[in-house]
Amino acid sequence: MILLNDPRTRRRRLGVAAVAAGLLSALLTAGPAVATPDPGDAPATSKEVSKSARAEVRDAIEGGEIPGQDQVVHSDNIEHLANIPKDALPGTNSDLAFQGRYAFAGNYDGFRIFDISNPKKPKTVAQVLCPGSQNDISVSGDLLFLSTDSSRSDSSCNSTTQPATEKSSWEGMKVFDISDKRNPKYVAAVETACGSHTHTLVPERKNVYIYVSSYSPNAAYPDCQPPHDGISVIKVPRKAPERAAVVDFPVLFPGEGPDGGGNPGGPTNPGVSKTTGCHDITVLPSKDLAAGACMGDGILFSIEDPERPKVIDRVQDNVNFAFWHSATFNQGANKVVFTDELGGGGAATCNAEIGPNRGADGIYDIVGRGDHRKLDFRSYFKIPRHQADTENCVAHNGSLIPVKGKDIMVQAWYQGGVSVWEFTDSSRPKEIAYFERGPLSTEAISTGGSWSAYYYNGYIYSNDMAKGFDVLKLSDRRTDPAKRVHLRELNTQTQPDYFD
């Protein structure tokens, strides 16, 4: 480990060029041989678009239909307070976590800690070099947790990439002591099957449980064998984190054969990812509930016994969902918003060609009681601002904005920016605010935009993959009551009871 201290809503007719249509046609009609949602380990690469698509983007900018290259635009009720560019960590920025006056920002090369006591002027407290793919991040007390989903030579922060076919290769969870925010210390590592693409905390007084989501097994990978039809559960003693260990691997998709019982994907369900694990899980500890976004399936399960989560209901959408990516409960625990990461986060899917239902959010009501609860589909939501064919855009990570009696959330859409939208009426969601930048490129699809956008103690914080850490202030009578809610800690995938 190396410590480095140093304007308006619009609907556009973009996205109908033949090459772009051909690219998305391939994405939508064939299930991927290996699921690779979220930008991968390799450096970001640009994908050329057709000459006509490039001309269309330039015309849209000149006509004022879309922002100019890198131009910042936003609705009248949002103010852009600050941007902190990347510094010592050049990799892709990823997820965020919060504790007190600190924000913790994941990066494919490690993580960065900000002092956000003055949201207008965030200050870097520490930067830790520890490569490990997207480095999904969370915090609890004096502990910080980091996911490694990159096959490495060992568990150290000095490791190098190594083929997953090598038995000695390592992937899994890393644990840091952050009692001194300026000097985080690496204290534990736990190897998990197929690594850790994302993780979710279930914190208790003496222990922290971690649900590890990973996928894409292969018979050639000694530590990632099919069927990979469940999640790893790690138990971390708070007073002895070095004793962290896997305590169970609950099977969520039981079934016959080498592939388990999840969604078979293509060719049975063309364009849908085969379920070989979960991508992300959100828990609601106050209600002993969890929602899993598991590639080709969405699930609802009980975590009354955190070591042995139990599936209550399971749903599929083989028409409009390609890859179940993440989940968010409403405060009343009677709704779940699932996201679909069509195109793996690297494609232009927020355009007229793809339409309003693919690469969108799916809103589900939770009906019934106890173990008989069911997920009941109500509607889709997608940002109403069409993006250019050079902008990667799809539904991504977001959080609730805590307003009593209302269901409102803020959400990242990669180069589609940051959207604030309401789903109090599950069947009629609507956007109420937005922030975005113009395309990174007018010539090719370049990976960038907001990976995560979360509301924390009166402000919206966004981690832009390319541009850095943004702070936004939302001023709207519909969301202003949320400013009275203050948390000591926030890991969005461990949803708090905001009003308890």
Q: What is the pLDDT of residue 1?
A: 63
**5 pLDDT exceeds 70?**
no
Q: What is the pLDDT of residues 405-431, one digit of tens each?
A: 999 999 999 999 999 999 999 999 999
Q: What is the pLDDT of residue 321?
A: 98
**483 pLDDT exceeds 70?**
yes
The dihedral region occupied by 198, where left means phi > 0, alpha psi between -120 and 50, and beta the remainder, is beta
Q: What is the pLDDT of residue 50?
A: 86
Give the CA-trace dihedral at 270, 271, 277, 278, to 10 degrees. -140
Q: What is the model's pTM?
A: 0.93
Q: What is the pLDDT of residues 282-327, one digit of tens each?
A: 999 999 999 999 999 999 999 999 999 999 999 999 999 999 999 9
> Rounded to the nearest 5 degrees, what angle is found at the Cα of 403, between the Cα atoms of 399 and 407?
60
Residue 195 pLDDT class (50, 70, 90 cuts): very high
**169 pLDDT exceeds 50?**
yes
**401 pLDDT exceeds 90?**
yes
Q: Can you say whether the dihedral through the CA atoms of 353, 358, 359, 365 is positive or negative?
A: positive
* Size of the chain, expressed as the number of residues it contains: 500
Q: What is the pLDDT of residues 202-240, one digit of tens each?
A: 999 999 999 999 999 999 999 999 999 999 999 999 999
When pLDDT is averaged across residues 358-384 and rounded to a whole number, the result is 97
Q: What is the pLDDT of residues 131-145, one digit of tens each?
A: 999 999 999 999 999
Q: What is the pLDDT of residue 38?
A: 65
Which residue, 282, 216, 259, 193, is CA-closest to 40? 216
When pLDDT is averaged across residues 262-271 and rounded to a whole number, the result is 96
Q: What is the pLDDT of residue 500?
A: 80
Beta bridge partners of 83: 470
Q: How far apart are CA 158 and CA 156, in angstroms?
A: 5
Give the CA-trace dihedral at 196, 197, 202, 204, to 10 degrees. 40
Q: What is the pLDDT of residues 56-101, one digit of tens each?
A: 898 889 888 899 999 999 999 999 999 999 999 999 999 999 999 9
Residue 256 pLDDT class (50, 70, 90 cuts): confident
Q: How far apart are CA 329 and CA 402, in angstroms?
A: 12
The CA-atom distances, in angstroms, between 486 and each of 110, 181, 259 are: 28, 21, 45
Secondary structure class of 420 (helix, strand, coil): strand
The dihedral region occupied by 141, where left means phi > 0, alpha psi between -120 and 50, and beta the remainder, is left
More confident residue, 407 or 26: 407
Q: What is the pLDDT of residue 29?
A: 38
When pLDDT is averaged across residues 99-113 and rounded to a whole number, the result is 98
Task: Return the minimum-mean-pLDDT range out of 38-47, 353-362, 401-410.
Answer: 38-47
Q: What is the pLDDT of residue 118?
A: 98
**32 pLDDT exceeds 90?**
no
Q: What is the pLDDT of residues 137-167, one digit of tens each?
A: 999 999 999 999 999 999 999 999 999 999 9
Tokens linked to 426: 């599950």
The CA-atom distances, in angstroms, between 35 and each of 31, 236, 242, 295, 479 are: 8, 29, 32, 8, 37
Q: What is the pLDDT of residue 10?
A: 44
**11 pLDDT exceeds 70?**
no
Residue 259 pLDDT class (50, 70, 90 cuts): confident
Tokens linked to 37: 């949602």
**124 pLDDT exceeds 70?**
yes
Average pLDDT for the chain: 92
Residue 14 pLDDT class (50, 70, 90 cuts): low
